Chain A
Amino acid sequence: MVTVDWYAFTPWSALIGGALIGLAAALFILWSGRIAGISGILGGLLRPAEGDTLWRVAFLGGMIVTPLLWQMFDRLPAIRIEAGYPMIIAAGLIVGYSTRLGAGCTSGHGVCGISRLSPRSLLATVCFMATGFLTVYVVRHLAGG
């Protein structure tokens, strides 16, 4: 049985935030003709090619600057990172390698790929959701973490 934590559930901010993410992806494909997939945009910086770097830096820079702009108007929403440093490093290495191997992450496959009805991205999303659920189950409920 699944117990929903209704107290933590934030349907409106989730939907509005999600729509903003979709809007960013829409802007990028319609105006720039590119997929807003973060792992691909970041990973591409490691294969520098003429004229292929600046737009990546602009997109990623925009994401990094967002919280700084937010702070000029309001307090930032809570960001709680429970994992310790060894876990953070392991997770980062795995996410970096795997998203390049699988050619996408939550944004490229989960948002853009599903939006263009790509069977590859649908399968990728099912795969990372499944191991995501499984990993948290193992860490929190089996390993006693």
Chain B
Amino acid sequence: MNQHFLTALLAGLIFGLGLLVSGMANPAKVLAFLDIAGDWDPSLALVMAGAIAVGLVAFTLARRRKTSLLGEPMRLPTATQIDRPLVLGSLGFGIGWGLAGFCPGPALVALGAGEAKALVFVAAMLGGMGVFELTRR
């Protein structure tokens, strides 16, 4: 158990806690946000706002550093190109998100909560990722 392992574990725990507290782990609430033509629940916009408000500070600090506080290299993404995979993948992701109300993080939390459908979703998601690995690399 080193510091890197513990940091990742703690980050995962806080991330999961945030998803539970915010209501994002509940697909019905996510779909109520995406259903702008129905009875609209704007909560998810505030989840994003709260996360980005904290994130803006963190990434401003991170950009000024060459190494992390544990001495790891700062692995900030370097890609800047707007390309087809980015656009097609993101458009596709939104379709899958809208069908079930699950994105990857909340699905893992719901899996931990013992939801059978979340387990099936995560298995299918890993299948989709596997197809990508086999065909796109």
For residues 114 through 145 of chain A, which have their beta carbon under 8 Å from a beta carbon of chain B? Answer: 114-120, 123-125, 127-137, 139-141
Write out the residue numbers on chain B whose beta carbons fall within 8 Å of the beta carbon of A130.
Answer: 91, 94
Assess whether A18 is in contact with B59, with CB atoms less than 8 Å apart: no
B92 to chain A, nearest CB (A): 3
Assess whether B86 is in contact with A120, with CB atoms less than 8 Å apart: yes
Q: How large is the interface on A (under 10, 10 to 19, 20 to 34, 35 or more residues)?
A: 35 or more
For residues 4 through 31 of chain A, which have their beta carbon under 8 Å from a beta carbon of chain B? Answer: 4-5, 8-11, 13-31
State A38–B106 Cα separation when bound (angstroms): 10
Assess whether A18 is in contact with B87, with CB atoms less than 8 Å apart: no
State A64–B56 Cα separation when bound (angstroms): 26
A59 to chain B, nearest CB (A): 4
For B47-66 the 0/1 string (1 means CB < 8 A from A) is 11111111111110111010
Q: Which residue of B lies closest to A56 (CB)?
A: B8
State A16–B72 Cα separation when bound (angstroms): 29
Q: Which residue of A lies closest to B69 (CB)?
A: A31
Assess whether A97 is in contact with B132, with CB atoms less than 8 Å apart: yes
A32 to chain B, nearest CB (A): 5
A113 to chain B, nearest CB (A): 8
A126 to chain B, nearest CB (A): 8
Main secondary structure of the interface of B (DSSP, over half): helix
Write out the residue numbers on chain A whose beta carbons fall within 8 Å of the beta carbon of B82.
Answer: 119-120, 123
Assess whether B57 is in contact with A26, with CB atoms less than 8 Å apart: yes
B9 to chain A, nearest CB (A): 4
Write out the residue numbers on chain A whose beta carbons fall within 8 Å of the beta carbon of B93.
Answer: 94-95, 98-99, 102, 105, 127-128, 131
State A2–B32 Cα separation when bound (angstroms): 12
State A123–B91 Cα separation when bound (angstroms): 10
Assess whether B46 is in contact with A92, with CB atoms less than 8 Å apart: no
Which residue of A23, A61, A87 is within 8 Å of B18 (Cβ)?
A23
Sample of 20 A–B contacts (CB below 8 Å):
A2-B37, A5-B32, A14-B23, A18-B53, A19-B54, A24-B11, A31-B68, A46-B126, A63-B12, A67-B110, A81-B102, A81-B118, A92-B96, A94-B96, A95-B96, A96-B132, A101-B85, A104-B90, A129-B94, A137-B37
Interface of B with A (CB < 8 Å)? 4-29, 31-32, 34-59, 61-63, 65, 67-70, 72-77, 79-82, 85-105, 107-115, 117-118, 120-133, 136-137
